[in-house]
Each structure stands twice: as C-alpha cells, then as structure tokens.
Structure 1
Amino acid sequence: MSRRDIIAIGGSLGAVAAMKHLLGNLPSDFPATVFVVIHVGARGKDLLADVFDANTRIPVTTAVDGEQIERGHVYVAPADHHLLVIDGIIRLGRGPRENLARPAVDPLFRSVGLNYGPRAIAVVLTGMLNDGAAGLSDLKRCGGVTVVQNPSEAVAPDMPIGALRASDVDYRASLDGLAALLVELTGEEAGSPVPIPGDIKLEIDIALGRQIGSETMRTIADPVPISCPACGGVLSQIKNWPPLRFRCQVGHAYTSEALAAETEGAVDEALRVALRIIEERVTLSEKMAEDAQRSGFAAAAAANRRRAKEGRQHAETLRRAIAGSAPDATAGKGG
C-alpha cells in the first residue's frame, strides 16, 4: 500500500515566517512533495521560493506550468496564478479569484485531494479570513488527512479557526510540532481510495479558467439575490457546506466571511459618495437662497433655506453612520 507523500500547505498573514520555520525543521531526506500557496499580490516578484530555499535542506522552487513533480521538493505558487496538481503535473490556473485571492488555497487543496486521495495531507497556517476552509473539507472528503496550526499561536487566527469550523480536522498542532507531525504522517501507510464527489472536479475546472454554463452551475449551487462584488453578476450559494460559500457565473468565489469583508468596503464607499452629493446640494441650495433673496423672491429663498437645512440634517446622519462603521483606531493596540 502507498504512503502519504503529497502535502499541500496554505496561509496568509504571518505565513511566510511560519513556512520558514516549518521548512527549516524538515529533514533532508523528507519523503514527500510539498506545495505551498501564500496569498501574494498580483504583481508579486515570486521571491518566496528563494526566501524559503535559504532556510531548508530540501530544494524549493517557484512552480512552473507543465512541470512534472519530484519527491523531496517544495513548489511555491507564483503570483496571480492558482497552483494545482493534476496527474503528477503542475498546472497554473488563471481562473477567477477565490476569497479575493489568486493564488488561493482552496484550489490547491481540492486538486491534491482529487488526484491523490488518501495520499494527500493538507495544512492550514495562520491567515486572515477563511480561505482554505472549504478546500480542506473537500480534501478530507477525498480521504486525505487534514492539519491546522493551533489558532492560539497564529499571527492571524482566522484561517485556522475557519478550517476547524468547516470540518472535523484530524490534527491541530503547534508550529514547533508541525514538522515532526508531517514526518510521522508521511511514514504511515495511506488508506484505501474513496469515491470522489463530482463537485470537486467542477471547481478545479473553474480554477483552471474553464468556462461553465448556468446549467452546470446549478448542479453545485442555487442562485441567491446577492450580487458579485467583482463583476456584478448574480451569486449562487454552494450546496455543499460548511463553510457557507458563493460563486457567480463568471466563477468568482467567496466564503460568507470574505464576501462580508468585500461588501463592507463597498457600503462605506457608497456612504461617502452619498455624503459628498448631499453636501454639494446643500451648498447649491444655500447659493440659490441667496440669489432668490437678492432678487426679492422671499418665498423661493425660504424654500431653498429649508432644503439646505434638511440636507445638513441628512449629511449629519450619514457622517454618524460612517463614523460608526469605521474600525476602532485603538483596536489591536496594547501589550
């Protein structure tokens, strides 16, 4: 029987330091292939592999599309591409962003789960929001083993907590204990293959950039009256849960937490635009009142002064709403 020899690791805020620590503790004869996705900007310089390679005894390189994977090697996702592994070959997808990110963690976890089943191990490290939670759950549905960094020691606990809430995670480990745990797991025999759910393959196709029709989308999701922040299309709620997730027809994907974070900014911007328009109307009404007064039209001057007063009241209401939605300037401070 084969052993567990495929490891997928994902993280965000704080994950670069965590990966350096983890990789630095792996032995030179580590018997598995490792794939890493860390959220980076679309214009990243692809320097992460060099950073990690200087801190580990096994080779680390930036993943290249079409590359055949090797055991005892670490592959890091390049900027602005989803990293997937299909039939032993690296594929870099330019599909839509998932959870506001490309590369995203979920597509990597799904692809190794689909292709390697019980041979696969997925690890969620520190990070904001909850990318990786759905992919970790999908990998477990494929028979893989799931591991989460202990949230209490994570720089940003959102991703570990989201993963723990989304499925029955097999192991929760400290950063110091992760390398030893992975060595132990790769020394064990993998379990028997399990049937692979069809929805996982479909979402991998989306990450690769393949178009899907509305009828196909309905097999995995139901339309809901919510718009996609990225393209304005109608979102559909993914049937398999937790976590609660949505996709649009284009393929943009969001957990409920990522969607809430994205739309919160849009609401704040809309309030500020509305405030600017109202303040401009107040100024215009005041000018019109002055003009009417000079021209001897007392009734028109009074009507414009009333409109200006009402506008100032509306503007003050919006200012209070904006102030109430702004993050506390003192949050996160302290010893």
Structure 2
Amino acid sequence: MASAAGIMEAALLVAAALLLVLGGGAEALSLDLYEERCPEAEAAVTAAVRQAMAKDRTVAAGLLRMHFHDCFVRGCDGSVLLDSTASVTAEKDGPPNVSLHAFYVIDNAKAALEALCPGVVSCADILALAARDAVALSGGPSWVVHVGRRDGRVSLAAETSTLPGPRASFEQLKQAFHARGLSTKDLVVLSGGHTLGFAHCSSFQDRIHPDKAQQQDPSLSPSFAASLRRACPANNTARAAGSGLDATSAAFDNTYYRMLQGGRGLLASDEALLTHPKTRAWVALYAASQEAFFRAFAKSMLRMGGLNGGDEVRANCRRVNQ
C-alpha cells in the first residue's frame, strides 16, 4: 500500500497534468483562487466535514454521492443543493436524489466561510472540497481541488432522470459518461466510489427475489445472494433495510472491486462492469492494486469536477441570490 506522502505526491502530479488537458469549464478553474481572498477556505470545509464524520459514519458516502449527482446533471454548479420552491421541484427532490443526505455539512461550511470571507467561495466549490475531504478522511486518496466554480440558478427534478441508475446496463452507463466527456475508464474508476455507503433493498431486490418468469441473477454468488435475502426478505417494506455497498462500507479502499470479482457486486450497474473485456481488465487491476485505484480515482474526480457549472456565488446554498 502506498504511503500517504506518496499518494499526495501522485495527486499533485495528476493535478498539474490536468491543468493542461481539462477543457470546457475547467479552463476557468484555479489552484490558488482563494489564496488571498479566503486563505482559510479549505480548512473551514475540512473542519465541517471532520466534525460531521465524527458523529455520523454515513456522511462521507453522502457527500461523495452528492457531488457526483451534482456534476452529472448541470455540471458542478451546486444545483443539487437548492431547495424546492412553491413553483419548482428541485433536483434534490427528484427520485434518484430523495435518499441524498448530509446537506447540513455544506450549510455549516458555507456559514463558516460567509463569516470569514462573505461572497467569495461558491457552494459548488464547497461541495467539491467536501467530497475530496470525505474520501481522504475515510482512508482514501487526496487530491488538489481546482476552484472557481460558479453556482447555478436552475435546479429541476425532471433532469435527474439522466443520472445512471442501479439497474443500468454497461451501454447505458457508457453513454451517460461519454455524454459528459468522461471516458469508459472514468466509469470504472468512479464506480469505485461505491466502496462507501449503503443501498436500500429496492435498489437490488429484483436480483435476489425475481418474479416467477425469471431466475435469481446468476452473476451473484449463492452465499452472497442468501445473505442479501436475509437482509431484504421478499415484500420487505422497512425503509431502513438494505446492505452496505461493500463489506467495508465506511472505509475508502478497493474492497468493492475484489467483491465484484467474487460475485458479490451489490447492484446490477456494478455487475455491468464485468460484461466488457476492457472494463473487466480495469476491475482486475484495481482489485489487485489499491494504489493504482487511488491514483486513478484522484484523476477521474478531477476530470468530473471540471464539468461546466453556473454563474454566481450564492450567499445561501439552499436558494439563489435575489
């Protein structure tokens, strides 16, 4: 396993290289935008994330998933943070996002930053920084976050239908990533974010309790399927029931890939990574080398974080400026 210093050095090299290759909105991003205007910006975000994680081990997965869902709809513009209004149902209330949580962590970080340097740090940047900190504080890699994103003024629940779902096929996943300028390798790498977190029974129920016309998903290990049936009995209605996305769901590591190779991938969209020779090879690489996964994850997060965003710096992450 790589040392923390080695991982950070690799992340710095990745960051420098990506300054040259990232396109679109990433051209406006900077490594030192807040150095003079808000030098304590990153420390304030890290403090908010650290405090929340000390009380709730699910916060890390929540923040990482929130950042992903933000960037995949309108770019990394903090639109997922906006509350619904009387006339508009916002992204956070769209079907794929109703289970998102830990919004309060972003609120706390924003409040601290508005006290330090009002009107300077965008909510989108706070979310990007918080996702990085959530990974690092869970034992994963760190990376240098490019900042300067702007917050969007539009958030529509209907647009969340474009988010890849837990039953997505390989072709559907590939198309979703390619449409956003991300590669098939990014798909495999960012799917490794499923090393953190939890899935409700409804996300995989059909794999373990098929209807009479189907058989249990043959890609699942029989013993793993049996354990899932114990956690999620047929016709289960318990809202809190489900399973960790991997066996170490509070730690950022490469267990996800090792479980996937052993027929213990929880979601159909996870299993889809084994249906193509190229993606199978990447799964095998990251299952064998956590160091390779960490390096690739930092790079892919930088690529995703460079997707185009909005046009203002909100004073409150839950509502647009007036």
Same fold? TM cut 0.5:
no
TM-score under structure 1 normalisation?
0.22
The answer to which structure has the higher helix fraction is 2
Q: Which has the higher contact order (CA 8 A, sep 6+)?
A: 2
The answer to which structure has the higher strand fraction is 1
Which of 1 and 2 has greater Rg?
1
